[in-house]
Structure 1
Amino acid sequence: MNPQFKKGVLELIVLKSVRDRDMYGYELVTEVSKVIDVNEGTIYPLLKRLTNEHYFETYLRESTEGPPRKYYHLTAAGILYGDQLEAEWNEFQERVCRFLKEGKHE
Structure 2
Amino acid sequence: MTDSIQVQLRKGVLDLCVLAVLSRGESYGYEIASTLVAAVGMGEGTIYPLMRRMQNDGLVATRIVESSNGPPRKYYRLTPLGRSIFEAHRRDWRSLASSVDKLLEDLP
Q: TM-score, normalised by structure 1?
A: 0.93
Tell me if 1:19 matches 2:23: yes
C-alpha RMSD of matched pairs (Å):
1.2
Residues 21-57 of structure 1: CA deviation (Å, up to 9, x unaligned): 2111111001112211112210001101110000000
Distance in 1 (alpha carbons) for counterparts of 2:51 and 2:15: 9
1:98 matched to 2:91? The reply is no
* More strand, by proportion: 1
Percent identity, please. Answer: 36
Partners of 1:40 and 1:4 in 2: CA distance: 17
Q: 1:19: Cα distance to partner?
A: 1.2
Residues matched between the structures, number:
104
- When normalised by structure 2's length, the TM-score is 0.91
Runs (4+) off by over 2 Å: none
Residues of 2 paired with 1:71 and 1:6: CA distance? 24
1:30 counterpart = 2:49 = no
For residue 58 of structure 2, give the secondary structure of its aligned residue in structure 1.
Answer: coil
What is the match of residue 84 of structure 1?
88
